[in-house]
Amino acid sequence: MEIVRMLKGRDFLTLLDFTPQEFKYLVERSYQHKHGLVAGKPLEGKSVAGIFEKPSTRTRVSMTVATYQLGGNFMELPTSSLQVSRGETLKDTALVLSRFVDAIAARVKSHSTLEELAKWATVPVINMLSDKFHPLQALADVFTIRERFGERKVKVAFVGDGSANTCHSLMVASALYGYDFVVVAPEEYWPDKEVLEKANEIAQETNTIIELISDPREGVKDADVIYTDTWLSMGVSDVDKRLEVFPPYQVNGELLSHAPEHAVVMHCQPWFIGQEITADVAYGPKSIAFDQAENRLYTAKAVLESIIP
Ligand code: CP
Ligand code: NVA
């Protein structure tokens, strides 16, 4: 009961703001939503403003359907259709939206945009992806791993771009949930130092390990989960360099032959088949990527219901 009360009114910008107990509650609550154990329409009469500076399929649809199923209304607001496109400040946007809606969700280019919105909004602000973090995704990822492996301790290997949103959030989520985590990436694409330091503080508390490895075969050798994401996240500029350094990190049959037989493959999608993952792996028997995508719905419901007062 205490956790339920603690979550109300909170922003959901990064999982670094949550305790292991709070994060575990959100995973458990996602399970309850998936299995029809939550009654009523907790968002009846409530609205969520959904600001998009970048494209989205899974996040946009899961948040829309989640809000609807909880009894509320999700408004899609591409920034090109808002007055911010004509120079209205984020401050005024946040102050005005707060007079109409019960939460502001935003997918932004720079994480600082979310921080500015959250500074002025008087309603909770939810990160639907920034350059630095993708917490809604990581919650669904851990929920999907828990669904597959039960209560046992798991080791997650993130293979590819360790410096982007997906890896950052999954690293923090793994530490919060009690999973060991290994970043398997070229050194220049290892995680942001500050995020790593904070994730390590959580890992100490939860008795888990975070490793950084640049050899892909070594990195996957005792992993239960092999996770990858695009090498070319939205907004990156060093495309040529990335296409040069990342190919040894492709998740393909050869790499998987160095992982345990029982290992599963995950990807937040959208994927770029032939770059970070091959078609036989993406659509093959080890892939749980579509369960992962489906689970975005239940985890979105858990977050919306928990933080909107
Ligand atoms: N995984 C994810 O966030 O997908 P979208 O970009 O389609 O929302
Ligand atoms: N890292 C990817 C995730 C897309 C859901 C990106 O930022 O483009």
Question: Are 288 and 145 within 8 A, CB to CB?
Answer: no
Same domain, 128 and 153: no
Q: How many whole angstroms separate alpha carbon 189 and alpha carbon 187?
A: 5
Same domain, 282 and 189: yes
Question: Are 276 and 251 within 8 A, CB to CB?
Answer: yes
pTM for the structure as a whole: 0.98
Same domain, 176 and 105: no
Same domain, 125 and 143: no
Q: What is the dihedral of CA 182, 183, 184, 186, to 10 degrees?
A: -150
Helix (H) or strand (E) holding 93: helix 90-100
Same domain, 167 and 57: no
Range of the domain at 101: 2-133+296-307
Q: Is 159 helix (H, G, I), strand (E, B) or coil?
A: strand
- Per-residue pLDDT in tens (0 to 9) along the chain, 309 residues: 699 999 999 999 999 999 999 999 999 999 999 999 999 999 999 999 999 999 999 999 999 999 999 999 999 999 999 999 999 999 999 999 999 999 999 999 999 999 999 999 999 999 999 999 999 999 999 999 999 999 999 999 999 999 999 999 999 999 999 999 999 999 999 999 999 999 999 999 999 999 999 999 999 999 999 999 999 999 999 999 999 999 999 999 999 999 999 999 999 999 999 999 999 999 999 999 999 999 999 999 999 999 999
Positive or negative CA dihedral for 244, 172, 42, 151? positive
**Which of ligand 1's atoms lies nearest the C-alpha of 128?**
3
CA of 234 to the centre of ligand 2 (A): 6
| Token pair recorded at residue 82 | 């808002």
CA of 147 to the centre of ligand 2 (A): 23
Number of domains forming the structure of the chain: 2
Question: Are 297 and 62 within 8 A, CB to CB?
Answer: yes
Nearest ligand, CA 293: 1
**Residue corresponding to tokens 């949930």:** 177
Same domain, 147 and 229: yes
Same domain, 123 and 149: no
CA of 2 to the centre of ligand 1 (A): 32
Mode of pairing for the β-strands spanning 210-213 and 155-159 = unpaired
Same domain, 216 and 300: no
The domain that holds 97 is classified in CATH as: 3.40.50.1370
Same domain, 127 and 144: no
Same domain, 113 and 224: no
Same domain, 86 and 142: no
Angle separating helix axes 193-206 and 20-34, nearest 10 degrees = 80
Question: Are 85 and 52 within 8 A, CB to CB?
Answer: no
Q: How many whole angstroms separate alpha carbon 133 and alpha carbon 150?
A: 26
**Which of ligand 2's atoms lies nearest the C-alpha of 166?**
1
Q: Which residues of 77-113 are buried (b: 16+ CB within 10 A; e: fewer)?
A: bebeebebeeeeebeebbeebbeebbbbbbbbeebeb
Q: How many whole angstroms separate alpha carbon 17 and alpha carbon 19?
A: 7
Same domain, 142 and 286: yes
